[in-house]
Chain A
């Protein structure tokens, strides 16, 4: 749960993270592991590029007709017996979910992993209404005990090592300290099993929503997703509108791409397709299913120059390969979504005034684009947001003046040469004052620039 957005302090957050050796070692280990596993998982596939093209085309088709597909999904889901709600913004989503739960007297809530619920800050709202909300994804459970938001969209506790988890469990669950991952998992499973059986309602997200059948699709690994959506009598799913895909028959492309891109698995342990609540006489499913479709600014994004970010299927591959994310971790970005896709969504969903430093949190190296399974043009999107930052007046005034001077010198060889000479004169002073700032890290300008001896 995000306890106040800190994106404006991106640099300070990053500096703190850079000084945290435990975090950095955990990040390096995780990023290397996911990078290798992803590459290994794709290696045997013969037609990866075609598959990416196909998945990209499906997502393009969704964006080209988003309102149509959202309507179609809502109608299909309703026909299948679900109740569909539309939430304009995060506050509306919180009210809708809290209302559904309160109406049925639900007090004990179990939750599957959902970044959209993080975006909507749902947990805090439900807790303030007197409900107990327990995250049941192991990573989410860990950070909920710690009182932290996720630092990765797929691996929320990526920044923690097993010793930290051991201490956390010992402190909060009254168990003897262990750092054995299997033991820790058993401890969590035992604690969570009791919560599942006693729960009045389950809340989940969804990876996709098929417009033709009204089905929700969830990719999960731990079995908790299936428990959350089938054990309690009431299931509330919260998802953002762009999760819709035209047809359930589009799913195979994403089954092949999403787990491979996310965790390097050929497929997740569970792929759940939920179409409506339990049928009369049926053996499985919640008795009542509500679907909350969150817009929260996405319709506006769709109409603007950054619309392509809505193609994103939330696999997290871009953050796994991002050198900046790898160095500073997810919390540095200061809001729900970190890394390349995250900084773009942060700027778009929370507004430039609350987030503008994060649009600079990229070296533009392009590693993200190279792995994106649905070909989101991440670098052009980041560049577009930087232009918007300048246009909307959020750029540093000194930088603005510097760039004005730069463009004059770039158009005037005489001024450019003068700049070179001045740089030579001021370098010794700058070096002394520089430190890690740029002046302390560049070499002295040459006594004679190349132009004076070039042919």
Chain B
């Protein structure tokens, strides 16, 4: 099965390892990932800051690059939620684009969603190691409704122990442009998240959104916490 891979601007620019891990996972489970080279960003930074026209430009570009009938897979709950829930509103006055937006919304899957529902990866007996805790990122959890899939995958890892995090679904303070506009609050929330990670005693914290993981990782670095921060794709790909 051919799947179009939306890397996301953060993975593309900062975390290519997450992209590579995603490719390996998709291939392992029988999919043929294709990365449309024209892709850029879903437009969320503009959309969330109130720049509707700018967001629409980015969204229109995304829809043209990802046109077609193939499933779209992305290692980000937030970007998937943007396409699924906010694109249609951006094109409410343009029937042709609206139709494209709605179709893209039906085609897009966040990686863990795809791995569990389309590939049954949680039944594949993947290997893991150490103790792992999980941050339940906001848009993945509350907007996309993906709560169980990452947990199914993590608890299926042979050789690893999953430990739940207290208040796992409390925001880490990233919030896209929030991080830039109100950095002091963003840091305070990331600190609190880092403390929750520490409280689990896990040696690795994971999640499905690179923005959140970047923010948590920064707080860890400041606190000198020796906990590894890794995207779920990276952890799963290590066990292939």
Cβ–Cβ contact A446 & B14, under 8 A: yes
Cβ–Cβ contact A407 & B20, under 8 A: no
Cβ–Cβ contact A387 & B50, under 8 A: yes
Instruction: Tell me the bound Cα distance from A46 to B181 in angstroms.
Output: 42
Cβ–Cβ contact A390 & B20, under 8 A: no
Instruction: Tell me the bound Cα distance from A445 to B97 in angstroms.
Output: 33
Instruction: Tell me the bound Cα distance from A410 to B42 in angstroms.
Output: 8
The minimal Cβ–Cβ distance linking A326 to chain B, given in whole angstroms, is 9
Cβ–Cβ contact A423 & B13, under 8 A: yes
Cβ–Cβ contact A407 & B46, under 8 A: yes
| Beta-carbon contacts under 8 Å, A370-416 to B | 370, 383, 385-391, 395, 399, 403-404, 406-413, 416
Count of B interface residues, CB-CB < 8 Å: 65
Cβ–Cβ contact A365 & B175, under 8 A: yes
Cβ–Cβ contact B14 & A361, under 8 A: no
Cβ–Cβ contact A407 & B48, under 8 A: no
Residues in chain B near residue A44, CB distance under 8 A: none
Cβ–Cβ contact A369 & B57, under 8 A: no
Residues in chain A near residue B45, CB distance under 8 A: 403, 406
Residues in chain B near residue A327, CB distance under 8 A: 185, 188-189, 192
Q: Is A190 an interface residue (CB 8 A)?
A: no
The minimal Cβ–Cβ distance linking A21 to chain B, given in whole angstroms, is 12
Q: Is B40 an interface residue (CB 8 A)?
A: yes
A446-B13, A450-B20 known; A389 vs B188 contact (CB < 8 Å): no
| Beta-carbon nearest neighbor of B190 in chain A | A441
Residues in chain B near residue A360, CB distance under 8 A: 178, 181-182
> Chain B's interface: helix, strand, loop or mixed, by majority?
helix
Cβ–Cβ contact A390 & B50, under 8 A: yes
Q: Is B120 an interface residue (CB 8 A)?
A: no
Q: Is A448 an interface residue (CB 8 A)?
A: yes
Q: Is B37 an interface residue (CB 8 A)?
A: yes
Q: Is B215 an interface residue (CB 8 A)?
A: yes
Contact with A along B132-144 (1 / 0, CB 8 A): 0000001100110
Cβ–Cβ contact A363 & B7, under 8 A: no
- Report which residue of A365, A385, A438 has the largest number of chain B beta carbons within 10 angstroms of its beta carbon: A365
Cβ–Cβ contact A411 & B12, under 8 A: no
Cβ–Cβ contact A361 & B50, under 8 A: no
Q: Is B35 an interface residue (CB 8 A)?
A: yes
Cβ–Cβ contact B33 & A367, under 8 A: no
Residues in chain A near residue B105, CB distance under 8 A: none
Cβ–Cβ contact B138 & A389, under 8 A: no
Instruction: Tell me the bound Cα distance from A328 to B186 in angstroms.
Output: 11
Contact with A along B20-63 (1 / 0, CB 8 A): 10010000000001110111110101111111111101101100
Cβ–Cβ contact B41 & A438, under 8 A: no
**Cross-interface CB contact of B175 among A11, A363, A437, A445, cutoff 8 Å:** A363
The minimal Cβ–Cβ distance linking A329 to chain B, given in whole angstroms, is 11
Residues in chain B near residue A441, CB distance under 8 A: 179, 183, 187, 214-215, 218
Cβ–Cβ contact B54 & A328, under 8 A: no
| Beta-carbon nearest neighbor of A384 in chain B | B50
Cβ–Cβ contact A14 & B37, under 8 A: no
Residues of B at the A interface (CB closer than 8 Å) are 5, 7, 9, 11-16, 18-20, 23, 33-35, 37-41, 43, 45-55, 57-58, 60-61, 138-139, 142-143, 169-171, 173-176, 178-189, 192, 214-215, 217-218
> Mind listing 24 A-B residue pairs with CB under 8 Å?
A323-B171, A359-B50, A361-B182, A362-B175, A363-B138, A363-B178, A365-B142, A367-B171, A389-B50, A391-B50, A403-B51, A406-B45, A407-B43, A410-B41, A411-B57, A441-B187, A441-B218, A449-B12, A450-B12, A450-B18, A451-B7, A454-B35, A454-B37, A455-B34
Other contacts beyond A453-B16, A455-B35: 17, CB < 8 A: A328-B185, A383-B48, A389-B50, A390-B52, A404-B54, A407-B54, A409-B41, A411-B40, A416-B9, A420-B13, A436-B183, A436-B184, A445-B14, A446-B14, A446-B16, A453-B20, A454-B19
